[in-house]
Each structure stands twice: as structure tokens, then as C-alpha cells.
Structure 1
């Protein structure tokens, strides 16, 4: 096992509650990652933390241990009702909320905390009833959290700690009003443990930290390098006609055990997925309108090697914790440079190595300059060699056809006003 990404600080020397330390040891963790080594000593002393670190560096374990240790150390509020959680964790996506809950259950193995997770797209009544049965740690997306709060399914009067995960993504998705709504209904900031974690601590995220937290300690890990060191990046310049044969050819040559292909649109994702399937590559597709149960099933199939490739839009760029992703393919360069970092961060997690291959196609090549400026290095450019190109099966689509102006939404050519 590669341990070069770990610090010299062990979990045993931190002073964790014995119930938590035993759970950590059961998971096989001995040494902390750098962000765990820097944040946990502060959290165990009750210090508020606004932390920045690369995706896959162990932020989730850090804040879960911090809040659980706090809950074990502090006495419960007298008269606390079963549906009043002691800790609230807000996440931007359903997938991230589910993953945090999964990790929380493992760490609470001996502490016996009641972990509940709520998010849209699932049985509303079932989730509401789970809160009535009792909750110690409540994890969820802000929309569903507010919905249940207004329905009096749970209360915020007994909150000892609050976590805001992927804070920058919360801004991107427009959840900032929801966050402030929930913060205003909790005990004051100086009467709770406050944790904010983000891959990027932008100015607006730092403003939120000072607004909603009490004297937070800023922790940055690997701030000088935006992308993980062990990701091998590469860039090709394919034409529209070359993009799919190149992708299939690279898949056939590299034989990735577990990979993710990102596109900028659902339509392109459908096109890429159909091409991969048509050329005997075990692929599935994950876009924003996929039902939650199917979404979780697809992620499970990738983790269990029932499929080798997941074709995604940016709904999956953050919040997905899938171990063992060896390759990420950017079929389109993203419009937001930060999304490039989050996409390729799906590989090379927890010290492993990985490859990120990007296509600067005709439609999105203009995004390259901003991406390279943001990551502070140029992507290595590779020539498209004939041996990289696959000969696609006749039934498989070769290129995404452009719609005739009369087929555009509204039925009018671009630039022509509607009557």
C-alpha cells in the first residue's frame, strides 16, 4: 500500500475517544493524511476550522471524527427530543450526502450514534419517519433539510456542531440562501463547533466562514498545487470526426479497469455512451435526470467492476467517492476551470496514481487558456497517432451531428426573431 501521501502523525496519538479510535483501527487507518493531521488537533480542542484541501485527501474522515469526538465529550442538552440532532452536515449533492453517511456509519460503529441522511429524489415519507425515530447526526442537501425543518420533522435547538462541506460548490449551485436560513435557526456560532471544508477557499467562501463561524482557523493543504501530484495529465486536439474514434482507441489500448468520461452536455453524454456500448465497451451513463436509486446502482456497478466506464455530465464531478478510478477522460474541456480540477480529482485518490486525458475539441478548445492559468501549468500536448484511432463499428455513431437551424428550440434559425 502506498503511504507516501500520509503524514507522520498517527490517529493513536491525537487523543481521540477510544470508541472512535477503535473504529478507525478497524478501517485499517494508522497515519493521518496532511489535512487530518492539521485539522484534527484543532477540532479536538473545540476550535472552529475552515479547511482547504485537494479532493480525496481525507476531509470527510477529519470532520466526522471532529464532530463525533465533540459529541462524546459534551453532555447532551437536558430534555433533548429524539428528533433534535446534535450535529448537522450540509452537502451540495445527493451523492456526497450518501457517501458522508456511509463513512459516518463506519466511524460510529462503537459510539452507536443514530445517523440519518435526507435528500431529494427518494421516498419523502420514509426519510421523514426516520427522523422521528431519532437522530444524532443529520446529513443532507439543503433543500430537503429546509423542507423537513418547516414540516417540524426535526429541530435545530440542540445543535452542538455544524459542517458545511464543498462550500464553493454550494455557491455554484445557488444554495447560499438555504445555508443562511439553517444557520439562523441554530444556536449562536460561539455556542457550537463550526467546520467548513472546500476544495477552493475563494473570497466568497472566506466571507461566509467569518459571517457564520466564530473565529475560524484557516487550514490549507497543498495550496500551491491545485491538481494532485500523482495525476498524469495529457491533452489531444481532435477534430469532431476524430474525437470518438480517439476515445474508443485509447480505451482499447489502455484497458482502464475503472474510468469516468466527462461531457459538458447530456446530449453529448448519450452520444458517447452509445458509441462505447456499440464498440463493446462496458459503459453506463450518469446525468442529472437519472433517478436516485438508479444513480446509486450505477455507482455500485462501477465500484464492483460490473461496468468499466461511467459517462457523466458535471453532476458527478464533485461529491463522488469512488475508489480505484484509474482514468478520467474529459471528452469536453469544462467551461469552469475549477470543474477541471474536480473532474480529474476522481482519480489518484488517497495517494494512488491516475491518468487524466483531455480533448481540446473544436467546440471547447477556447476553455484551455483559463484552465491552464488556474492550475498554473500547461497540459502536456500529445499528437494523435494512427495507432491511437479505433475503427468504429458501422452501427456506432461517429460524430455528433449539428442540428439544422430549423430544428433549434423555437423552430427558427439562429438570429431570426420569433413572430
Structure 2
């Protein structure tokens, strides 16, 4: 089905053409017609399947069809669990809605507190936000929820995982009642927790579910290597040299310490890389992502903070240097490649510490990942070792002689302290 077959406003069709979207993906084909009828939707949709465009198109249609009421309060709200996902949704919204005149404002922590505050005061149509800072502005009465007529909760399962559910419930209670707004909920799984949220805050939501065989996006060639932990970097370096068109590579690890070690090894072996982890300041994270998108950084070493919400075109390879502890994170990680119908490769390493999660991942996928034992030609053992960072010497502070403690006298029998018989007793 083509987008031109839908009854969409001309200004929105121009944005869809600018984004070079022609055919609807399965989740779009199932959810957009329902949304255009004004129905609430609870959709199971994996990353890379086009869900962002689905709910943005529905929101734009609703706002364009209804005249703006008096005032400058927001008319639509999109909630997302991470800053990266907020930024990505806003970028997609700016592209799709560039001819509509609808104003979009991202709200998230770490940057531009006063700038975001002033933007809300000036008036916006759509807010895309993480919960924390939005609640902060709301409690200060910077804006009002009174005119919100459309709500989207994206990555609802991740909201639960990251502990945002209390904040989300607080916001839902402050919004107009569900019969006066349209609500769309998107989640990787429609778990009982997610559906409880739908039953409580949505108006007879229509369920949209993707078949299990569609859990991972089409176009991803997956392969898994069984390798010892000590040989993983040699295998990684060997495969990077052998893989054709490995122009933009995301490498996932489970810990920040492992990310920093791997980044140092890549750099000392003349591969441009950077680390993306949860504790990096937001401005630096955005700068790293921009460099990765532009190609000045070709290898991005990331923890699971980057597995959702980051859309970088033409990621050629995703490498699971560590298998993730959560089976759903595997799907989100490999979903960074083969986006919007493109092709990509996902390479995973199963070592002696992470191989135990493999059956769970394969059960979730619904098939066994093609696996292999690497041969000698796959390894590159002649690589440079990264030098450990030098620790700064700890300088002892000089102790004031007047504050030195005198040694305590022993109180044991035979000692020289009070109660002891001292040397005279020994004689």
C-alpha cells in the first residue's frame, strides 16, 4: 500500500515525499488507518519497523483537521524513555511536518534548561519529551496540559525497565480524560504490565501485533561465532579487516569499563572510534552521534543506552561483542542496521561468560542464529596493545607533629600499662 492511497493532507504528503517514503510497512498499514478513525492503539512494534512515522503521521493528520483552540498550550504529547529517542523523533517530525506549520519542541534533561522553558512559554504544538524535565516545567506552571488531544507513549516496555512508570502515571493523571484525547502506545512486547497501562488510561484500545517471525527486521544477515573471551578482540579485528563495506559499525558491550577498554584498543590499532554510555554528558553524546553520522567516527562502542532510539542511516554492521543479558536488547541492538528497507550484517560473539543467554535469545527470535567456529584466518593476533592509563601518584599530606598520636600502652598482664606488672614482675 502506498501513502498516496491514504486520505492525507497535501502538506503532509509533501513531507512524506521529502522523507522518500513510498510504501507502508506492516505496522504502518495496520495502525495508521485505525488512528485516522480516531481510535486508540496499543501496538507491538520492534525498532526499525516504521512505528515513529506511523504515530507522527496520525498526530499531524489530527492537528491539521482540527482548528487550533485559543491559547498556546501544546496539543500533542509524545513520551519516550531516552534523550536519544526524543532527538530522533523530533528529527523525523521536523522532516515529515516541514510544510505543515506545526511547531515541535524536544524536552529532556542535560541541556538548554532556560531555552526549553522559554520555548514552552512561547507556545508549541507537539512536545516530545522524557518524563523528568517535563514534570519539572509542569509543576512550575510553565505550560498546561488542558488542550492535549493526542498522546503517544513510545517504547512503553522500556519505560518500565528504566523506572519511569511512576512519572508516566503522574503525567497521565494530569492529562485530559481518555475519552477527550487519542492515545497510541507502542511497545516491543504487549506484556501484562503494558496492557494494564492501556486498560487504565486508554479508551478501548485496538491491538496491533506483529507476528513472531517478524520480531527482527528483514534484511539483517545474522551470524554468531563461538569464541573464548581472551580471543575476542583478535577475532573482532580480523573480521573488521575481512568484512566488505564495514564503513559504519556499532559495537555493543555490556559495561562501561569494557567499552572504554575496547575503544582504547580500536584507537591504538588505527580505527577511529568513540564510546557512548549512560554517564556521558548529553552535549558530548550528541556531538559523538553527529560525528558518527558524518563518518568522522567509523566505529561506535556502546552500552545498551544506544540500543534504542538511535537512528543512524547506513549502519553497515552491528557487532555484539558481548551478548546482552536481556533477549529483547538483542533485537534492539541489531535493529540499528538494515533500517528503512536497507541491508545490514549483525555479528555476535558467544564467549564462556555470555553463551548461557543464547537459548533465550533464539527462543525469542523464533529461530537459531547461524553459528560458526572461527578458523585461524579469521583472527588477527598481531595487534597493538593499549597502554593502561597511568594513575596519578597519591601524595601523603604532612602530619602536624603536635597531632601525632602517642602509642597506647598495653593493658595485658606483663605489659607496662596500668594493671600490668611490667618488667619488675618478670624479674
- TM-score normalised per structure 1: 0.89
Residue number in structure 1 paired with 2:107: 118
Pairwise CA distance, 1:294:
1.4
Do structure 1's residue 48 and structure 2's residue 50 form an aligned pair?
no
SS of equivalent to 1:184:
helix
- Report the Cα distance in structure 1 between the residues aligned to 2:387 and 2:191, rounded to whole angstroms: 41
From 84, 88, 93, the counterpart of 1:104:
93
Do structure 1's residue 26 and structure 2's residue 24 form an aligned pair?
no
Do structure 1's residue 307 and structure 2's residue 297 form an aligned pair?
yes
SS of equivalent to 1:232:
strand
1:76-115 correspondence runs (5 A): 76-77=68-69, 79-80=70-71, 82=72, 84-115=73-104
> Deviation string for 1:119-166 (max 9, x for gaps)?
011121121111111111011101111111111111101101000001
Residue number in structure 2 paired with 1:63: 55
- Report the Cα distance in structure 2 between the residues aligned to 1:337 and 1:28, rounded to whole angstroms: 32
SS of equivalent to 1:224:
helix
From 221, 240, 249, the counterpart of 2:229:
240
> Deviation string for 1:266-317 (max 9, x for gaps)?
0000011111111111111111111111111111111111111100001101
- Report the Cα distance in structure 2 between the residues aligned to 1:101 and 1:47, rounded to whole angstroms: 24
Check 1:146–1:321 CA distance in 2 against 1; reply closer, same or farther (3 A cut). same
Residue number in structure 2 paired with 1:141: 130
From 377, 398, 420, the counterpart of 1:387:
377
Residue number in structure 1 paired with 2:170: 181
Residue number in structure 2 paired with 1:327: 317
- Report the Cα distance in structure 1 between the residues aligned to 2:194 and 2:61, rounded to whole angstroms: 26
SS of equivalent to 1:112:
coil
Tell me if structure 2 keeps the 8 A contact 1:330–1:357: yes
Pairwise CA distance, 1:397:
6.7
Check 1:366–1:344 CA distance in 2 against 1; reply closer, same or farther (3 A cut). same
Pairwise CA distance, 1:27:
2.4
Query: Which shows bigger deviation, 86-95 or 31-40?
Result: 31-40
Check 1:259–1:222 CA distance in 2 against 1; reply closer, same or farther (3 A cut). farther
Tell me if structure 1 keeps the 8 A contact 2:234–2:383: no
Tell me if structure 2 keeps the 8 A contact 1:258–1:325: yes
- Report the Cα distance in structure 2 between the residues aligned to 1:29 and 1:245, rounded to whole angstroms: 41
- Report the Cα distance in structure 2 between the residues aligned to 1:198 and 1:248, rounded to whole angstroms: 35
Do structure 1's residue 250 and structure 2's residue 239 form an aligned pair?
yes
Do structure 1's residue 343 and structure 2's residue 341 form an aligned pair?
no
- Report the Cα distance in structure 2 between the residues aligned to 1:238 and 1:144, rounded to whole angstroms: 44
**Unmatched segments (≥5 aa) in structure 2:** 389-427
SS of equivalent to 1:234:
strand
Pairwise CA distance, 1:210:
1.6
SS of equivalent to 2:151:
strand
Tell me if structure 2 keeps the 8 A contact 1:372–1:378: yes
Do structure 1's residue 354 and structure 2's residue 331 form an aligned pair?
no
Check 1:224–1:235 CA distance in 2 against 1; reply closer, same or farther (3 A cut). closer
**Unmatched segments (≥5 aa) in structure 1:** 1-8, 399-419
CA RMSD for the aligned pairs?
1.5
Tell me if structure 2 keeps the 8 A contact 1:279–1:392: no
> Deviation string for 1:21-66 (max 9, x for gaps)?
1221232222212211211111111111111223111111110110
Pairwise CA distance, 1:346:
0.8
Residue number in structure 1 paired with 2:423: none
Residue number in structure 2 paired with 1:370: 360
Residue number in structure 1 paired with 2:140: 151
Do structure 1's residue 10 and structure 2's residue 37 form an aligned pair?
no
> Computing the radius of gyration over CA atoms, which structure comes out larger, 1 or 2?
2
- Report the Cα distance in structure 2 between the residues aligned to 1:31 and 1:333, rounded to whole angstroms: 34
Query: Which shows bigger deviation, 92-101 or 21-30?
Result: 21-30
Tell me if structure 1 keeps the 8 A contact 2:30–2:208: yes
